[in-house]
Structure 1
Amino acid sequence: MSDNFANLRVMVIDDSKTIRRTAETLLKKAGCEVITAVDGFDALAKIADTEPHVIFVDIMMPRLDGYQTCALIKNNSRFKTTPVIMLSSKDGLFDKAKGRIVGSDQYLTKPFSKDELLDAIKELTAEVA
């Protein structure tokens, strides 16, 4: 897949409005269709309807954290191959390992740059395309 992000549906799950807005703006500029969710429950309700190609999920969220959300997505046979990228303000080895255990495909540390976001998508959608 080239740098063509058109027709790519990306979900951003984060309880921070700033992060959601930043990611949405960057991704839309790249041509993606963006779906946002404020937490895991909100995301799970939207995933079945929107069928995103890539999902970014924040780790620290109320009610259902990023690990639980990722595990629930990956345990669903319809979405187990959907790439999930964890977002965290902590760049810890433990967090990365825990993310891998629940099935995340990649890990980005906040604040992320436009290039980091797009490179992560490129890397993960190249395998699918």
Structure 2
Amino acid sequence: MGEALARVLVVDDNEVIRQLITVNLQLEGFEVHTAVDGQDCLDRVGDVRPDVITLDVMMPRLDGWVTALRLRENEETRGMKVVLITARAQEDDLRRGREIGVDAYLTKPFDPNELIVTVRDLAGLP
């Protein structure tokens, strides 16, 4: 097994979805780490140093919005690419994401291929 394409931190409180995203990315050659909510993400992000973070919006303790905002406010994590994964991508949500500086959106249920393409794109891969 060669060098991983890129490192991804998958953040979702739903274990089934977390596993689904993880498996799809691992099959494509990504190194995948997971976190169970926004607080867990912020606790782990310094150690993992991901290229891309997939972030569920609706989570306990710290939701995706607050987590994305904290990532953007921190000098060390500001440049990390963030994909928000949400069940509701309405115009207000998209605008809020743009204001925070989210890099991409996927709407649940998402197509695994769309996930791969989005993560590859954000990681700067062909």
Q: What's the TM-score once normalised by structure 2's chain length?
A: 0.92
2:17 aligned residue = 19
Q: Deviations over 1:83-119 (max 9, x none)?
A: 1010001131111111111111111001112211111
Q: Contact (CA 8 Å) 1:6, 1:30: kept in 2 or not?
A: no
Corresponding pairs, count: 125
Q: Give runs of ≥4 in structure 1 deviating > 4 Å.
A: none
Q: Please, which of 58, 61, 65 is the counterpart of residue 59 of structure 2?
A: 61
Q: Please, which of 35, 38, 52 is the counterpart of residue 37 of structure 1?
A: 35
1:18 and 1:80 mapped to 2: Cα distance? 29
1:119 and 1:76 mapped to 2: Cα distance? 27
Matched residues, percent identical?
A: 39
2:89 aligned residue = 91
Provide structure 1 residue ranges, at least 5 long, that are not aligned to the other structure. none
Q: Contact (CA 8 Å) 2:6, 2:123: kept in 1 or not?
A: no
Q: How far apart are 1:24 and its partner, in Å?
A: 0.4
Provide structure 2 residue ranges, at least 5 long, that are not aligned to the other structure. none
SS at match of 1:126: coil
1:88 and 1:59 mapped to 2: Cα distance? 6
1:44 and 1:15 mapped to 2: Cα distance? 14
